[in-house]
Structure 1
Amino acid sequence: MTVKTRDVWLPFPAEEIEGLPDSFTYRHWDGEDAFPADPADCVFYVTPYMKSPEVTVRPLAAMPALRVVQTLTAGTDHILGGLADLRPGVRLCNAAGVHTASTAELALALTLASLRGIPGMVRGQDREEWRFGVYDALADKSVLIVGYGSIGSAVEDRLAPFECERVTRVARSARTAPRGPVHALADLPELLPGADVVILTTPLDDTTRGLAGAAFLGRMKDGALLVNVARGPVVDTKSLLAEVESGRLRAALDVTDPEPLPAGHPLWHAPNVLITPHVGGSSTAFAPRAKRMLARQLTRFAAGDPVEHTVLTTT
Structure 2
Amino acid sequence: MVVVSFPDPLLRDAVGEIPGVEAVMWDPRNGPATDDRIEVVVAPYLGAAKALGAVADLPHCRLVQLQSAGFDGVFEAVPERVAVANAAGVYDAPTAELAIGLTIASLRGIPEAVRSGDQARWVPLGQRTSLADRRVLIVGYGSVGTAIARRFNAFDVMITAVASRARAGDELVDTVHGIDELPALLPQHDVVVVIVPLNDSTHRLVDEDFLGAMPDGALLVNVARGPVADTDALVRHAGRLRIALDVTDPEPLPDGHPLWTATNVLITPHAGGNTTALLPRMAELLREQLTRVAAGDPPVHLVRPIVKT
TM bracket (short chain): over 0.9
* Runs of 4+ that moved beyond 4 A: none
1:71 pairs with 2:66: yes
Aligned counterpart in structure 1 of residue 184 of structure 2, from 159, 184, 190: 190
Partner of 2:167: 175
Cα displacement string for residues 85-126 of structure 1 (whole angstroms, at most 9, x for unaligned residues): x253x2111100000000000000000000000001000001
State how far apart, in whole Å, the 2-side matches of 1:213 and 1:34 are.
38
1:299 pairs with 2:291: yes
Q: 1:282 to 1:144 in 2, by over 3 A?
A: same
1:207 pairs with 2:201: yes
1:271 pairs with 2:267: no
Deviation at 1:134, TM superposition (A): 1.0
State how far apart, in whole Å, the 1-side matches of 2:141 and 2:80 are.
33
Residue 7 of structure 2 aligns with an amino acid whose one-letter code is P
Partner of 1:47: 43
- Structure 2 segments unaligned to the other structure (5+ residues): none
Is the Cα contact below 8 Å between 2:2 and 2:294 reproduced in 1?
Answer: no
Aligned counterpart in structure 2 of residue 62 of structure 1, from 44, 57, 60: 57
Is the Cα contact below 8 Å between 1:223 and 1:248 reproduced in 2?
Answer: yes
Partner of 2:128: 135
1:161 pairs with 2:158: no
Deviation at 1:29, TM superposition (A): 3.1
Deviation at 1:276, TM superposition (A): 0.3
Q: 1:52 to 1:307 in 2, by over 3 A?
A: closer
Partner of 1:10: 6
State how far apart, in whole Å, the 2-side matches of 1:87 and 1:217 are.
37
Residue 162 of structure 2 aligns with an amino acid whose one-letter code is V
3-state SS, counterpart of residue 30 of structure 2: coil
State how far apart, in whole Å, the 2-side matches of 1:286 and 1:31 are.
21
3-state SS, counterpart of residue 202 of structure 1: coil
Deviation at 1:218, TM superposition (A): 0.7
Partner of 1:110: 102
TM-score by length of 2: 0.93
3-state SS, counterpart of residue 168 of structure 1: strand
3-state SS, counterpart of residue 41 of structure 1: coil
Q: How does 1:278-297 map to 2 (within 5 A)?
A: 278-297=270-289
TM-score by length of 1: 0.92
How many residues align structurally? Answer: 302
3-state SS, counterpart of residue 138 of structure 2: strand
3-state SS, counterpart of residue 39 of structure 2: strand
Partner of 1:254: 246
Deviation at 1:37, TM superposition (A): 3.2
Deviation at 1:36, TM superposition (A): 6.0
Residue 60 of structure 1 aligns with an amino acid whose one-letter code is V
Cα displacement string for residues 184-215 of structure 1 (whole angstroms, at most 9, x for unaligned residues): 00000000001100000111011111000011
State how far apart, in whole Å, the 1-side matches of 2:13 and 2:136 are.
44
State how far apart, in whole Å, the 2-side matches of 1:113 and 1:80 are.
36
State how far apart, in whole Å, the 2-side matches of 1:230 and 1:43 are.
31
Is the Cα contact below 8 Å between 2:31 and 2:54 reproduced in 1?
Answer: no
1:145 pairs with 2:131: no
State how far apart, in whole Å, the 2-side matches of 1:307 and 1:228 are.
31
Cα displacement string for residues 44-66 of structure 1 (whole angstroms, at most 9, x for unaligned residues): 011000226323x1421212211
3-state SS, counterpart of residue 59 of structure 1: helix
Residue 140 of structure 1 aligns with an amino acid whose one-letter code is D
Q: Which moves more between the two structures, 305-314 or 23-32?
A: 23-32
State how far apart, in whole Å, the 2-side matches of 1:262 and 1:53 are.
21
Partner of 2:20: 23
